[in-house]
Amino acid sequence: MSLILWTLIIVTSLKYVTFALRFDNGGEGGILALMALLRRLLGQQPSLIMFVGLFGAALVYGDAAITPAISVMSALEGMNIVTPYLDRYVLAVTVAILVALFAAQRQGAERIGRPLGPVMLMWFLIIALLGVRGIIQHPDVLWALNPTVGLHFLFTGGGVVTLLVVGGVFLCVTGAEALYADLGHFGPAPIRLAWFCLVFPALFLNYAGQAAHVLAGAPINGNIFYHLCPAPLLLPLVILATVATVIASQAVITGAFSMTRQAIQLGLLPRLQVIQTSAAGHGQIYLPAVNWLLLVATVLLAVGFGSSSSIAAAYGIAVSATMLATTVLLSIAMREIWRWPLPAVILTSIGFAAVDGLFLSANLMKFVQGGWVPLLLGASICAVMLVWQAGIAAVQKQVDEMQLPIGDITAQIAANAIPRVPGTAVFVARLTREIPPLVVWHLQNIRSLHASIVIVNVVAELIPYVADENRTEVREIAPRIWRAQVHCGFMEQPDLHALLQRAHDRGYPVDPSNVTYFVGRESVVPRTDGKGLPRFVERVFSFLLRNSSEPIEYFRLPRDNVVEIGRQFAI
């Protein structure tokens, strides 16, 4: 009990609620937002920051797959206490609830979450009352407030036994990383208020009540939490616990959507379809591909492990490793952003890293029992991110080589060598310095240009949102040919048609009612000179490229006004 209490204090209250929530990137939190903040402040080069951020973010997906499975299943296992006859239905009902949960994501987090606040308030008040009922049976349990009780056990409990207990204790703080990732949805003040005034006291009272119940002589078989409840109220408590775990799972799934959009905008993952589910909040999004992949992974975990205790073996490694990665980035932030003296940074970092390292070591003991599952998921996603970046860099190198100097086209236009036809053409190109290959192809094959040409480069910034006055930079690079750099934060999705209308309203001679958008549709093939990417990397990148979201959807373009130009790159 002492270990649980002080883990909640050190990890959640101190590290995350007090320290981490102060490191926001334009209001957004989570390990990717922290990585982007440090890269923006220190430049693009620090590879340690990039690697730690990528690895930690990849492991979060393993947590997002495991959390719904273990949460829902552990709540439903209370049916065994109601009547053993219901035990056979726990797995089937778990799968049904998980399918319904993921199917409902299309409705949006706002619509799903509107009635959930009062439910969670009721949940925490009830578990606090149940805890008080247990503490009354054996008040001596409150000696757990003394940290030396937990320290004495750590140093005298025996190596393997201690690590096994510590691995179980860690389960009380597995939501701390998700709390940081949800910073952008709520802001730091409401999170701190909810944690210190409601959640933390309720958790402490309930855990202490369970410990007191055991010390009073109650049996420890089954789920001790449900033993605190009077028998007539057991079934309603099981139902309420199931609803509460579904809500907790909802928060993790929403966090996975938010983190995926961050990764896409930062160029770490291929474009995926992003659906805005509410006009009230920009963070209210739905990603179909991520949703269904998480559903498959979650159901497979539930069916494969069969019980919450078995899934618990796989649960801790991903979260504890992510927490250690967050500690590394927080240490850099304390030095570079807060300008703390180096001794203070070292002492604070060692303290947090020692706790994280202890939990990671304890959870690694469960590697064979299932701990390898989240590590495999995380390593796979991290590999996908690295492959995508390598492929994009190879394509960009060829794009740069295919550029046409501005002087050549300017001379042809000045000599009236290029016919101009009515209308506006918008070429959506990668960030380039001159005339992009998309325009070169158009000139070579169509042999004319529209009366107005806009070359749009979408630049993903290392901040979540870009102010409207900094959104667009426009300059004329040739007669009636403009280059527009559109700056988007990593929490935003560009809407080029709306931006074109805004440019028209500001006086630029572009006609949104008579516009044609030209976008590239790339495909890749292996190079034959032996200088390209490894064949496996090229094939994986080609698969990702083929299955990424269409530029029409990603840039929110009117489908009837778009011309796709297929281009092949040898990488």
The tens digit of pLDDT for each residue in 249-263 reads 877 888 788 788 878
Q: At what angle do helices 372-401 and 535-546 cross, to 10 degrees?
A: 90
Amino acid 110: pLDDT: 63
Tokens of 207: 């855990």
Q: Give the whole-angstrom CA distance, residue 38 versus residue 160.
A: 38
> For residue 562, what are the β-bridge partners?
517
Phi and psi for 493 in degrees, rounded to 5?
A: -120, 125
Q: Measured at the alpha carbon of residue 14, what is the angle toward residues 10 and 17, in degrees to the nearest 5?
A: 130
Amino acid 111: pLDDT: 66
With residue 546 as reference, give the H or E element that holds it: helix 535-546
Q: Are 520 and 396 in contact (CB under 8 A)?
A: no
Task: Give the torsion sign (CA, 68, 71, 74, 76).
Answer: negative
Amino acid 381: pLDDT: 87
Amino acid 353: pLDDT: 93
Distances in Å between the alpha carbon of 4 and those of 150, 192, 540? 9, 20, 44
Give the right CATH number for 2-389 from 1.20.1740.10, 3.30.70.2660, 1.10.3720.10, 2.60.40.10: 1.20.1740.10
Query: What DSSP string describes 365-384?
Result: TTIIIIIHHHHHHHHHHHHH
Amino acid 135: pLDDT: 93
Nearest alpha-carbon partner for 224 in 234, 212, 236, 210: 210
Q: How far from chain centre, in Å, is Cα 304?
A: 25
Q: What ranges in 277-405 are assigned the alpha helix state H? A: 288-305, 308-336, 342-364, 372-401
End-to-end, the C-alpha distance of the chain in Å comes to 57
Amino acid 68: pLDDT: 87
The tens digit of pLDDT for each residue in 519-542 reads 877 788 888 777 788 888 888 988
Q: Are 549 and 272 in contact (CB under 8 A)?
A: yes
Amino acid symbol at 462: L
* Sequence spans of domains, the chain: 2-389, 402-570
Provide the whole-model pTM: 0.77
**Tens-digit pLDDT string for the chain (571 aa):** 999 999 999 999 999 999 999 988 777 788 888 888 888 777 655 577 878 888 888 888 887 888 888 888 887 877 777 677 777 788 888 899 899 888 888 776 666 666 778 888 999 999 999 999 999 989 999 999 999 998 888 888 667 788 888 888 988 888 888 888 777 777 788 889 999 999 999 999 999 999 998 998 877 777 788 888 888 888 888 888 888 888 878 778 887 887 888 788 778 888 888 777 765 555 677 888 889 999 999 999 888 888 777 787 777 788 888 899 899 999 988 988 888 999 999 999 999 999 999 999 888 888 887 778 888 888 888 889 889 888 888 887 877 776 666 666 667 776 777 788 888 888 887 655 667 777 777 777 788 888 888 888 888 776 777 887 777 778 887 777 888 888 887 667 777 877 777 777 777 767 777 888 888 777 888 887 777 888 888 889 888 888 887 778 778 888 888 888 777 888 8
Nearest alpha-carbon partner for 238 in 227, 249, 250: 227
Question: Checking DSSP bridges between strand 481-488 and strand 472-478, what pairing results, if any?
Answer: antiparallel
Amino acid 40: pLDDT: 78
